[in-house]
């Protein structure tokens, strides 16, 4: 799947499309920085931004659906998601595609999971923890803007930023694990993920937690395949 590395100022694994991403920026032939800036403007939506760059609604919907399908297919191929879960997610995403591109509904591909509203400058559904988030900022006692700034600094990692604010490695690992478990439990409760898949994901996340907080591997966490695989 597309991975986002801790220290790059990103909120975590972008399993579900709908916000700023390298792929969306390339689709519009602009830079990621420009896309993030335009999506963060008041009233901006994926559709309005795409229209400004000469892309039609149908082109945008097709692009988002293709991105969504590709990412879910990779998850199934990697064994980190069942085909049934993937089918349910793509069906839900397709049923909400107009609302998603118009910013009328939080997006994520399935109900019951943490949502991020289009037009807020967020890169997509934050199902997996590991980067900047309101919860992580609150954990450190700082603002989200400050956290994003500190994580984007050269060489910064979740662990180094946490240490600078008086949090130990063990406290950070416990926090990330609790966030991960809570989000996966919500997905299971909502019927959008099987308990078996959730158990596999939390086990994989736990086995990589030190590397994740040290920025030594992508923060896809639960079962995300290594780079290049």
Q: Residues 153-171: pLDDT tens digits?
A: 888 889 999 999 999 999 9
DSSP H or E run through 60: helix 57-77
Residues paired with residue 126 on neighbouring β-strands, in sequence order: 14
Q: What percent of the chain has pLDDT over 90?
A: 22
Long-range contacts (CB closer than 8 Å, 24 or more residues apart) made by 168-177: 169/210, 169/213, 172/213, 173/209, 173/210, 173/213, 175/136, 175/139, 176/129, 176/130, 176/205, 176/209, 176/212, 176/213, 177/202, 177/205, 177/206, 177/209
Is residue 17 within 8 Å of residue 28, measured between CB atoms?
A: no
Q: What percent of the chain has pLDDT over 70?
A: 71
Is residue 209 within 8 Å of residue 128, measured between CB atoms?
A: no
In 3D space, the residue among 11, 3, 2 whose CA is nearest the CA of residue 151 turns out to be: 11
Q: Alpha-carbon distance 93 to 16, whole Å?
A: 9
By CB atoms closer than 10 A (0-12, 13-18, 19+), residue 166 is exposed
Q: What is the pLDDT of residue 81?
A: 67
Q: Residues 120-140: pLDDT tens digits?
A: 222 333 344 566 788 888 999
Q: In the predicted model, what is the mean pLDDT of residues 168-190?
A: 87
**Distance of alpha carbon 174 from the chain centroid:** 20
Q: Determine phi and psi for 109, rounding to 5 degrees.
A: 100, -15
Is residue 126 within 8 Å of residue 11, measured between CB atoms?
A: yes
Q: Name residue, tokens 């990621």.
A: 32
Residue 224 binned pLDDT confidence (cut-offs 50, 70, 90): very low
Q: Model-level pTM?
A: 0.49
Q: What is the pLDDT of residue 229?
A: 35
Ramachandran region, residue 152 (left: φ > 0; alpha: ψ -120 to 50; beta: rest): alpha
Q: Alpha-carbon distance 124 to 108, whole Å?
A: 7
Is residue 50 within 8 Å of residue 170, measured between CB atoms?
A: no
Q: Determine phi and psi for 161, rounding to 5 degrees.
A: -70, -45
Q: What is the pLDDT of residue 159?
A: 93
Q: What is the mean pLDDT of the chain?
A: 74
């Amino acid at each position: 799947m597309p991975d986002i590395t801790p220290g790059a100022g990103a909120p975590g694994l972008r399993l579900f499309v709908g916000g700023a991403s390298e792929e969306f920026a390339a689709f519009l032939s602009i830079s990621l920085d420009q896309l993030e800036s335009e999506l963060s403007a008041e009233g901006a939506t994926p559709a309005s931004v795409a229209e400004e760059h000469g892309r039609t609604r149908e082109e945008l919907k097709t692009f988002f659906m293709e991105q969504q399908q590709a990412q879910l297919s990779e998850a199934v191929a990697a064994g980190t998601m069942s085909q049934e879960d993937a089918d349910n997610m793509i069906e839900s995403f397709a049923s909400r595609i107009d609302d998603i591109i118009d910013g009328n509904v939080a997006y994520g591909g399935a109900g019951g999971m943490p949502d991020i509203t289009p037009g807020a400058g967020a890169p997509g559904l934050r199902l997996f923890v590991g980067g900047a988030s309101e919860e992580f900022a609150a954990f450190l006692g700082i603002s989200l803007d400050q956290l994003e700034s500190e994580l984007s600094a050269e060489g910064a990692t979740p662990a180094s930023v946490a240490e600078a604010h008086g949090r130990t490695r063990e406290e950070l690992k416990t926090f990330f694990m609790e966030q991960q478990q809570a989000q996966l439990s919500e997905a299971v409760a909502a019927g959008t993920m099987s308990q078996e898949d959730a158990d596999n994901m939390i086990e994989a996340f736990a086995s990589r937690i030190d590397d994740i907080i040290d920025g030594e591997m992508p923060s896809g966490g639960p079962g995300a395949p290594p780079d290049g695989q």
